[in-house]
Chains A and B, each alone.
Chain A
Amino acid sequence: KNQVEQSPQSLIILEGKNCTLQCNYTVSPFSNLRWYKQDTGRGPVSLTIMTFSENTKSNGRYTATLDADTKQSSLHITASQLSDSASYICVVSAGLRGGGATNKLIFGTGTLLAVQP
């Protein structure tokens, strides 16, 4: 069964600190992995997308890593800010390596991050 599991479910950190969120998946065949940020009351916004051949991708203070052998991904947030408080969702695309829209998207349930002053 295709599944995406995220940990921790929730996390509280102090402003300025770093943190790492985890995503483990059992999805086959694997096409790509995406991280989204969802602010309260808003739709998810794409942070990164990584294909099988990519093992790291950055977007500002966000760095995602992918280990396709162990089927694990992490999202590292550097020097956290209050605006980083949100839910972070890992999404794995199952299907064609080209990532066509016929691929099935499997969503994790998210990690709720709270950054405190």
Chain B
Amino acid sequence: EAQVTQNPRYLITVTGKKLTVTCSQNMNHEYMSWYRQDPGLGLRQIYYSMNVEVTDKGDVPEGYKVSRKEKRNFPLILESPSPNQTSLYFCASSLLGQPQHFGDGTRLSIL
């Protein structure tokens, strides 16, 4: 089954403790992206990648890192999480120019 898989689905952690949210897709998509979704603000892009070893900043990249060492994986790294990064995060992938397939989200709470 074609899917985008995020882990974990839920995480409660504390300020400053490094965390990684993994994202994997099995559709051989070139394009992958991370978004955060906050009430009243809609989806905002954090980082995106057009192919292996190619990443670029979205609208709200501060405090986040990504890597794209393999085509299928696009992890999101929070080196020193802060409470303002408490949010619902989505990973998405697509063929170039096509509608994106989204994962089911990761709800992060940073205390």
Contacts and interface: CB of A to CB of B under 8 A. Distances in A.
Contacts of A34: 99
Contacts of A103: 97
Interface of A: 34, 36, 41-46, 49, 89, 98-103, 105, 107-110
Interface of B: 4, 30-31, 40-45, 50, 90, 92, 94, 96-105
17 contacts: A36-B99, A42-B104, A43-B90, A43-B92, A43-B103, A43-B105, A44-B100, A46-B100, A49-B99, A99-B97, A99-B98, A100-B96, A100-B97, A101-B50, A101-B96, A107-B44, A109-B40
Cβ-closest 7 pairs across A and B: A43-B102, A46-B99, A99-B97, A109-B42, A101-B96, A101-B31, A107-B43
